[in-house]
Amino acid sequence: MAITTNRSSRTLWNWLLSSCLIFQLIGSSLASQALSFTLEPQDAVVPEGHSVLLQCAGTASIGRGGKSKSNLPSSVSIRWRGPDGQDLVIVGDTFRTQLKDGSLYISSVEENRGLTGAYQCLLTAEGVGSILSRPALVAIVRQPDLNQDFLETYLLPGQTAYFRCMLGEANWQEGVKHSVQWLKDDLPLPLDKLRMVVLPNGALEIDEVGPSDRGSYQCNVTSGSSSRLSSKTNLNIKKPSDPGAENSVAPSFLVGPSPKTVREGDTVTLDCVANGVPKPQIKWLRNGMDLDFNDLDSRFSIVGTGSLQISSAEDIDSGNYQCRASNTVDSLDAQATVQVQEPPKFIKAPKDTTAHEKDEPELKCDIWGKPKPVIRWLKNGDLITPNDYMQLVDGHNLKILGLLNSDAGMFQCVGTNAAGSVHAAARLRVVPQGVKIKKRKSQGHSTKSLQTFDNLTKRRKPFNSGEQLRTKSGGSFPFPDEDDDLDVNDSGTTRLRIPSGKLPKFEQPLNDRRFNILNAGSALPLDNQSKSYEDDDDDYDEDDPAKEALLEAYKQGEDAHKILDSWQQSKSKKSQQQKQSPASPDSPEQDPSVPHPGGKPLDSGLQARLPSQPRDLVAQIVKSRFVTLSWVEPLQNAGDVVYYTVYYKMNNSEREQKMVTKSHDDQQVNIQSLLPGRTYQFRVEANTNFGSGASSAPLEVSTQPEVNIAGPPRNFEGYARSHKEIYVKWEEPTVTNGEILKYRVYYSENDSGADLYHDSTALEAVLTELRPHTDYVISVVPFNRNGMGDSSAEIRVKTFSSTPSEPPNNVTLEVTSSSSITVHWEPPAEEDRNGQITGYKIRYRKFKDAPQVKSTPANIRYFELSNLDRNAEYQVKIAAMTVNGSGPFTEWNRANTLENDLDETQVPGKPIWISIHPGANNIALHWGPPQHPEIKIRNYVLGWGRGIPDENTIELKETERYHILKNLESNMDYVVSLRARNVKGDGPPIYDNIKTRDEEPVDAPTPLEVPVGLRAITMSSSSIVVYWIDTMLNKNQHVTDNRHYTVSYGITGSNRYRYHNTTDLNCMINDLRPNTQYEFAVKVVKGRRESSWSMSVLNSTYQNVPVTPPREVTVRLDEMNPPTVIVQWIPPKHTLGQITGYNIYYTTDTTKRDRDWSVEAFAGEETMLMLPNLKPYTTYYFKVQARTTKGLIMLLSRLWYRTPQVQPLQCRSPTP
């Protein structure tokens, strides 16, 4: 067994070299790296005409089969793939050359020659496979777009000027730096750092402009070796004496923030510059709450007059940011969304795996990132498209069914999102059945670009963890190179193979008196040549307590030979026990699907004990997607059978899959996940503890064709058009099975809302009358002549926000002094907000004066208006704000400031009176304020207790005069106290005693009982009728009140349900999918009360096959009995179920309904009926209907026949 060491096993190596015992007891190794990159190509952005060198290098090692296996270096070859995804043909290429070391050299990167794009390095090792590197982008430096609009700007002195430079920041090339220099009047502009700043996007901001700033401004942008000038912007300074210059002006934005999508760790700048008169103040909010700039660790800072900069962006920084500009005239918000993306990181990387042919290995891979990474699998550098045999499990693991030898190779898991990509490789080796796979621990390998959350495989250190073994001279054993190998053979002896010139001189360990035995030679016995393979994904049993005890004894200085003898004896006993105990199908040392696990032929005695082939293999059930098989036990040696293995494959395919039964009693299996309309071969083998018996003869079975419904629509997507509309579009299904008659778009609010739908005959639809700022779950279903098809994948779309539709609630004004009024409010109801509340706008004015404006963050519920005039009436109203603007204002609320500030140098007096009204579990209180109104009251303190005062207390507002104490005990004495409070302290209390009343009878509403007797009866391929009984109704089951019923239905096993409301005790559910099982439940709803859901019932719609009436109906006279006619027909060509009988309808009056016709019914399969005693010379009309086990088949179009008067007449064709 080959062992590749690492640092954590350094002391293990020293100990292994010191004693043969350790070679016997320890058998662990880390998995070798089969193929990996040591250098991957990197992105390159260069000026046109410059050269590029893309470097690539890697290593490979090939492990020999067998216990003497070692990892040998292998040569690797390098190929390159170009921007078109194809291998580059270097020969004859004028611009691209592959160097001897494998690097790709592009002599001159030029536009329109196919040289730019993504390049990947393909690393190949013969006998191992190939892996693909990360894509390296080669691009030509592009100049950013510059501002080319000539502008004339007019500002007042003291305002802020903003000049644009570079545009389209979102499209700037990554890694390209641009140098910006500003010019004024064609000369370089010296920056006044107190007033001027160049923002990260190159824009120039000048605060407090004055006459000296008048002039023409433009920027000069240098990228690499080229420079460009923007257009000019003229700045003009208005004189304060200009007409209207001194008038107040509401804020307006020169520039507002724009949406930003950045990677984790980037620096983000949100521009915000505003002007107004007076000059507005800039405030930043995130999701409606103020940002904290005072924290010492804050990553938020202000650049210029109001732009926000976020350093080292993190995921928690994602959100909606509002720049709020406010002055006394108004406040205005500008909003932008910041999305912080996180590059993919491995949660679990794939590991090297060895598996038997026909196994079903699963390569595990899980990657996290934001947005969610797209996971792809590659085999030997080529993309794997999921199919019947290579399937994605849970969207990220790769499972291979019916493993073939050709499946061996290098597999890569690649995760990609907008922020980057990662990839990890693992080798899959395939060995013949019966070859033992040695179990070993390993750490999954990934390339250098791997970022992983995996913890390294932690091994228990067998001795002196972290310390080297000391020698008598105080030295330590040298540590061999990582290429040194250690082999263990079947006889229990070990051989160390060290390359020439690397054998060290060892000194005797302190605890090993037998060191000279080991040091006498440089090599131990030769390798055993029996073949085995190592599985790099499984573990040894390192938790053997006997082994641990022996290791501990050796560390304590016990005789190594005695310890070795003891361990060999225990190992021999264990081996005998394993031979005596029967093997299970899951044993890692044995594959029971072959005659002998070691690959050796069975002797004649064991061969005779193998079972013969299972008998009578038949397909009991054959459906479109599964087949149920059964068989009979073998004739010979059936008692030795432990389990059965069923092998199956599609005709003309080499890939055979298998299913193993749990015991010998299981002689029936259900093979699922088959394809409809295909032919499969099945065979069965009986398995014993010592091998597999003969195989049954192959059984060919063809699955049924699929019901001809349409497949799911493709590329379904949608987006919001407004706060009330969502636009969705899709492409026609790949499989239509005929003409698509219509599409039905289902949509609901979130996951719990009722399903609504919109029908469309086009490949698009507009959903209208939606709620603002609401998530909708949307899917689309096609309909063809066979009914509902497969649904598309669900998408989630959120409508835009809008301004609030209602003002804030419960607005109150509290006069707090002679110069201040505090405004209190509650936000609008959730359904009236129409988006995230970003703040509140307060307008206030002294009576008949011009209003002023204050704004608050969204998380504030009160605001103090200060610096007001004494003894003046003020009017206040308030509105809620979203990013879309302000909603409606409340009505004006009025309050008068005090003439003089109230006295707080003394405590308030006692409330002058208190009135108490008891209830069964509550007490209502009403009181009057203290006698001296000139003393300030901040609030009231209400106390109560059972028999004693102030057992509980609560603070009430100064303006309150009424309160109810709730959740009290009935028939209990309470003492109530009330006192006024200000900053000086509490005033004297007023007390009262009261007793609550006896508990009042509660008229609890009668609970609604669950409907019972729920039945679901299939009517057709697309409809099912549901019936139930309401036990709360009278015997005639007639609903007389306002109750209704809600029926829940959905495909069995699905977590999505649809709902149907009805006032009847039954309902027809239409537009169901053919040949599909549905689950139904019902509940009763009355007002705000509702019952629990009833027990569920299941039923399936019929398969959507054509249904025809009886054919070729004829009517003729019975010549032996003239008053009698004979009706004959041919059975229907297509039916649902077996025919159980027929109904023959006849009448002389065609105006009658079908149910009023005379009818003759009989059971059986006869196709003729004699109708006697008909009236002569009378025209009769006939219809024939078939009855089946599934119900009635449609009636035939009517025929008519006139009975003869004397001579029989001929039967005529159907009525025109």
Q: Residue 716, Cβ neighbours under 10 Å: how many?
A: 19
**272 and 217 in one domain?**
no
DSSP 3-state of 328? coil
Six token digits for residue 906: 């003394």
Report helix, strand and coil shares of the chain as percent, to nearest 5: 5, 40, 50
pTM equals 0.61
Return the minimum-mean-pLDDT range out of 168-182, 561-575, 1033-1047, 1106-1120: 561-575
Q: Is the peptide bond before 1204 cis (omega within 30 degrees of 0)?
A: no
286 and 333 inside one domain: yes
d(CA 420, CA 266): 14
Residues 6+ apart with CB under 8 A from 7: none
CA 458 remoteness from chain centre: 31
pLDDT tens string 603-656 = 666 778 889 999 999 998 888 888 999 999 999 888 889 999 999 998 888 888
Whether residue 569 is contained in a domain is answered as: yes
CA–CA separation, 429 vs 63, rounded Å? 11
Are residues 888 and 983 both part of a single domain? no
Question: What gap in Å lies between CA 1126 and CA 709, rounded to an integer?
Answer: 42
Residue 1122 lies in a domain: yes
Strand 873-882 to strand 893-896: parallel, antiparallel, or no bridges (unpaired)?
Answer: antiparallel
Site of tokens 């079975």: 701
896 vs 23, more confident: 896
**Pick from 899, 851, 855: which is nearest to 880 by CA?**
855
Domain count, the chain: 11
The answer to whether 666 and 629 have CB atoms below 8 angstroms apart is no
Coil, strand or helix: which one is 713? coil
DSSP tag of 483: T
Is the previous residue joined to 371 through a cis bond, with omega within 30 degrees of 0?
Answer: yes
Whole-angstrom distance, CA of residue 1161 vs CA of residue 1185: 9
Least confident of 141-150, 483-492, 549-558, 819-828: 483-492
Beta partners for residue 800, in sequence order: none
Cα 1024 from chain centroid (whole Å)? 34
Q: Which amino acid is it at 1153? A: R
- Is residue 369 one of the residues assigned to a domain? yes
Among 60-74, 302-316, 470-484, 569-583, the range with the most confident prediction by mean pLDDT is 302-316
Which of the pair, 1171 or 1037, is modelled with greater confidence? 1171
- Cα–Cα distance between 1129 and 1138 in angstroms, integer? 17
Q: Compute the distance between CA of residue 456 and CA of residue 479 in angstroms, rounded to an integer.
A: 22
Structural domain ending residue among the three candidates 439, 466, 494: 439
969: tokens are 């005990």
Question: Cα 3 from chain centroid?
Answer: 41
Packed helices 560-580 and 545-555: angle between N→C axes, nearest 10 degrees: 170
558/610 Cα distance (integer angstroms): 50
Residues facing 686 on adjacent strands = 644
My answer on whether 1055 and 987 are in the same domain is no
The length of the chain is 1216
> Do residues 1084 and 1008 touch, judged by C-beta distance below 8 A?
yes
Boundaries of domain holding 1191: 1111-1202
Is residue 422 domain-shared with residue 469, that is, in the same domain? no
Verify that 781 and 694 share a domain, yes or no. no
- Answer yes or no: are the C-beta atoms of 292 and 328 closer than 8 Å: no
286, part of any domain:
yes
pLDDT given at position 491 = 37
Phi and psi angles of residue 221, each rounded to the nearest 5 degrees, phi first: -110, 125
Q: Is the pLDDT of residue 718 over 80?
A: yes
Q: Identify whether 448 is part of a domain.
A: no
Structure tokens at 1203: 């009975």
- In the numeric block, the tokens 């070993």 are attached to 440
According to the model, what pLDDT value does residue 328 have?
A: 87
322: nearest Cα among 722, 836, 860, 797: 836
Q: What is the Cα 691 distance to its own chain's centre?
A: 45
Last residue of a domain, one of 192, 209, 243: 243
Phi-psi region of 305 (alpha: psi -120 to 50; beta: other; left: phi over 0): alpha
Element (H, E) at 353: strand 353-356
pLDDT at 903: 83
C-alpha R_g of the chain? 44
Q: Which residues pair with 392 in a beta bridge?
A: 398
* Long-range contacts of the stretch 1179-1183 (C-beta < 8 A, 24+): 1179/1148, 1180/1115, 1180/1125, 1180/1146, 1180/1147, 1180/1148, 1181/1146, 1181/1147, 1181/1148, 1181/1150, 1181/1215, 1182/1113, 1182/1115, 1182/1127, 1182/1144, 1182/1145, 1182/1146, 1183/1144, 1183/1145, 1183/1146, 1183/1154, 1183/1157
The predicted model gives 1096-1125 an average pLDDT of 80
**pLDDT reported for residue 752:** 60
Longest dimension (CA), the chain: 138
Q: What is the pLDDT of residue 172?
A: 76
Residue 53 domain flag: yes
Same domain, 757 and 675: no
Tell me how far apart the terminal alpha carbons of the chain are, to the nearest angstrom: 91
Judge if 1142 and 1044 occupy the same domain. no
Say which CATH number the domain at 784 has.
Answer: 2.60.40.10
Q: Is the pLDDT of residue 502 over 60?
A: no
842 touches 853 (CB < 8 A): yes
Grade residue 123 by pLDDT with cuts at 50, 70 and 90. very high
pLDDT tens digits for range 378-419: 999 999 988 878 888 888 899 998 899 999 999 999 999 988
**DSSP class of residue 30?**
B
Residue where a domain terminates, one of 1100, 1131, 1155: 1100
Q: What is the pLDDT of residue 1101?
A: 86
- Do residues 1123 and 1092 share a domain? no
pLDDT for 387 equals: 84
Contact residues for 202 (Cβ-Cβ < 8 A; gap 6+): 165, 166, 178, 180, 219, 221
Q: Do 398 and 477 share a domain, yes or no?
A: no
Residue pair 644/666 in contact by the 8 Å Cβ criterion: yes
Helices H, strands E: what count in the chain? 7, 93
Q: Quick check: is 903 in a domain?
A: no
Question: Do residues 1177 and 1122 both lie within one domain?
Answer: yes
Are residues 1122 and 1077 both part of a single domain? no
Position 511 pLDDT exceeds 60: no
pLDDT of amino acid 177: 81
Query: 919-955: per-residue pLDDT in tens?
Result: 888 999 988 888 887 888 889 999 999 988 889 999 9
The stretch 340-349 carries a mean pLDDT of 93
| 3-state DSSP assignment of residue 944 | strand
416, part of any domain: yes
Between the alpha carbon of residue 935 and those of residues 393, 706, 980, the distances in Å are 76, 88, 10
